[in-house]
Amino acid sequence: MIKKLFLVFIAIITLNAHAQEGTTSPYSFYGIGSLKFKGTAENRSMGGLSIYSDSIHVNLRNPASFTGNNIKIAPFNGEGRPVKFTVGGSHSTVNLKSNSSSANASSSTFDYFALSVPMGKFGMAFGLLPITSVGYKLEATDAEDVLTNRFAGSGGLNIAFLGFGYQITKSLSIGISTKYNFGNIQNSATKFVYDDEGNPLQFQSRESNRSDLSGLNFDLGLIFNPMITDKLQLTSAVTFSPKADLISKNLRTFETIFINKLTGQEFPANQIVVDLDELGLKTTTLTLPTKTAFGLGIGQPRKWFLGAEYTFLKLASFPIE
């Protein structure tokens, strides 16, 4: 079973690295793209809380949850921590409007895959999830509604993670997760030029940029969930992600392109590769900020749960150096 799931995991990594365009938002033009929710459908349905964990769901937002809990489950011979896996995707439709026009765009994306395995008081989990997505096609026109520029972008940043949790006592667990960030972002800007009669020239100019991103970062987690009465359980949790650097290897080209008038497809006629080494931009650094989250909740196991969470993100360290 685990072997088959591992093969599925490898297949999803391949598909996600080469085929996914997870957004149609023009706001993904900025930075490393639109941020995606880093959690499962269960986390999302609870308002994004990362503090709750149980014996049948995988909590991707706190590595201390990889140990499961001490609830005994009869179909698993009294074991409270069966092997767990989760996979999810989503479909979104966006309505885009401007002062003069409107359009609809939709996308279907893979959101996460994870597998959690019990090992006595230890627990291990690994998986894959995208964290940002770039996908836009924008056009600019002049006062006479003539096309002047076209902008396009695709790609995003993904995480492959491996985490371990340890159950110190019946009510206290800690965990650590190592995350490998990888992906690429591509964008282009095409300038349209016309002759004296207003007809587009046969060849146009395009600037293309590509950034290949990679780097490691870590999550630390703690969950304390004692029973305060026979029915009520108190849950408190902390997660901490220290500052980390991503390395971006960059490529920039200027191209003369021919555009097929019927299909709109662009064909490069010639290309000039910019010497980014001379500009000091061949390799740049993107700093992921320190993130700390505190959560507190109360509930009756397998019945109801009420909680709140506060997240502090140090964005001062976010710009590219």
Banded pLDDT at 34 (limits 50, 70, 90): confident
Which residue pairs from 36-42 have beta carbons closer than 8 angstroms and sit at least 24 positions apart in sequence? Answer: 36/111, 36/129, 36/130, 36/131, 36/132, 36/133, 37/111, 38/129, 38/131, 38/159, 39/112, 40/86, 40/88, 40/112, 40/114, 41/88
Rounded distance between C-alpha atoms, residue 67 and residue 119, angstroms: 8
Question: Mean pLDDT throughout 14-27?
Answer: 56
Q: What is the dihedral sign for C-alpha 17, 19, 23, 29?
A: positive
Which pLDDT belongs to residue 68? 58
Banded pLDDT at 17 (limits 50, 70, 90): very low
Which pLDDT belongs to residue 208? 94
Of 46-50, 73-77, 163-167, give the range with the top mean pLDDT: 163-167
Which pLDDT belongs to residue 15? 47
Question: Mean pLDDT throughout 77-87?
Answer: 67
Which pLDDT belongs to residue 73? 45
Burial (Cβ within 10 Å: 0-12, 13-18, ≥19) of residue 315: exposed
DSSP run (H or E) holding 276 = helix 276-279
pLDDT digits (tens, 9 = 90+) for 86-99: 888 877 777 767 66
In this predicted structure, the answer to whether residue 321 has a pLDDT above a threshold of 90 is no
* Domain residue extents for the chain: 2-317
pLDDT digits (tens, 9 = 90+) for 269-302: 889 999 999 999 999 998 888 999 999 999 998 8
Instruction: Give this prediction's pTM.
Output: 0.81
Question: Mean pLDDT throughout 131-155?
Answer: 87
pLDDT digits (tens, 9 = 90+) for 201-217: 888 999 999 999 999 99
Which pLDDT belongs to residue 124? 92
pLDDT digits (tens, 9 = 90+) for 215-270: 999 999 999 999 999 999 999 999 999 999 999 999 999 999 988 877 778 888 88
Q: Are 88 and 82 in contact (CB under 8 A)?
A: no
Banded pLDDT at 69 (limits 50, 70, 90): low
Banded pLDDT at 144 (limits 50, 70, 90): confident
Kindly calculate the radius of gyration of the chain based on its CA atoms and give it in whole angstroms. Answer: 24
